[in-house]
Amino acid sequence: MYTYVFSGRIYPERSTVTLCGKEAPLKAVFKSNEEGDNELDGEISIEIICAQITAVFRTENNIRDVYTLKNMVSDAIRLHVDTFGYIMGYGLELEVTSVLLPDGRSIIFGVDIPILFGAHESRLNKLNEIMQLFAVAEGDFLRRCFADLRRAINNPVDTGFFCYRAIESLKLSFCKKECCDEKAGWLKLRNSLKVKRANIDKIKKFADPVRHGDVIRISDNERGEIFTITWDIVDRYIDYCIGLTANKLKG
């Protein structure tokens, strides 16, 4: 039996949430629905005391993909926290910050998405130009897009859903500008930003089940691919809008 001990915290920091079973920790079972894919099967016990999270995952398997496990553990904790938030009328967030591995080593989880961080400097150089976009019509759609990107990062299991919705906001900006329907808006987005439909469909595959109330398992590698495609589309949209704004100023 292998044991993985995750630690984290509930936010806001002034929160003193205590959430555990009356006589034992809260429990959940991870069981794969796919044949031959049972590496992440196991049982998790969750305790939240004064907003401090301890989640113990026990399994018969030696987990190779700890980051996917971390995402699944975060989702299991979030389920209990969101339920408590509904009962109390609280808006709570959570963060899983570290894990103690069976061999005694610890992993401290970063706050970034590594696959995205490498390109942050080129985006940072455009910060002033991006901020100026919020003064034009496209800014409202970009604001909603950024909000959903934040949710995609903070809610691992729903990454596809929020990334797709972020792109939908950009699509809607084309619909409004061109006074066209949704189908024409998607076509305008793809043509204007030079985006392949196949890439958008890769995100949609992980969004549709969640949009219809279903649950889908997503690996850390799959999240990475979704983030890469989404950020590329948003980058293209920002460059497109900056170009439009520059042309207006020249005119």
With a cut of 60, say whether residue 23 has pLDDT above it: no
Q: Are residues 81 and 127 in the same domain?
A: no
- Most confident among 63-72, 126-135, 167-176 (mean pLDDT): 167-176
Q: Are residues 208 and 126 in the same domain?
A: yes
Q: Are residues 36 and 145 in the same domain?
A: no
- Contact at 8 Å (CB) between 161 and 211? yes
Name the domain count of the chain.
Answer: 2
Q: Are residues 219 and 123 in the same domain?
A: yes
In sequence order, the 6+-apart residues with CB closer than 8 A to the CB of 8 are 52, 53, 55, 74, 77, 94, 95, 96, 97, 98
pTM: 0.83
Percent of the chain with pLDDT over 70: 93
Domain range for 88 is 2-108
Q: Are residues 67 and 136 in the same domain?
A: no
With a cut of 60, say whether residue 126 has pLDDT above it: yes
Q: Is the dihedral of CA 215, 220, 221, 223 positive or negative?
A: positive
Residue 71: name the closest of 1, 152, 150 by CA.
152
What per-residue confidence (pLDDT) applies to 251? 52
With a cut of 90, say whether residue 28 has pLDDT above it: no
Q: Are residues 101 and 143 in the same domain?
A: no
Q: For residue 241, how far is the Cα from the chain centroid?
A: 25
Chain segment 116-125, per-residue pLDDT in tens: 877 778 888 8
- Contact at 8 Å (CB) between 185 and 174? yes
With a cut of 70, say whether residue 35 has pLDDT above it: no
What per-residue confidence (pLDDT) applies to 236? 96
Q: Are residues 184 and 83 in the same domain?
A: no
Q: Are residues 239 and 138 in the same domain?
A: yes
Out of 108, 132, 155, a domain closes at 108
Out of 108, 142, 165, a domain closes at 108
Using pLDDT thresholds of 50, 70 and 90, give the confidence band for residue 39.
confident
Out of 108, 125, 155, a domain closes at 108
Q: Are residues 89 and 151 in the same domain?
A: no
- Contact at 8 Å (CB) between 198 and 134? no
What per-residue confidence (pLDDT) applies to 10? 95
Q: Are residues 102 and 139 in the same domain?
A: no
Using pLDDT thresholds of 50, 70 and 90, give the confidence band for residue 109.
very high
Q: Are residues 161 and 82 in the same domain?
A: no
Distance CA 196, CA 166 (A): 17
Q: Are residues 126 and 67 in the same domain?
A: no
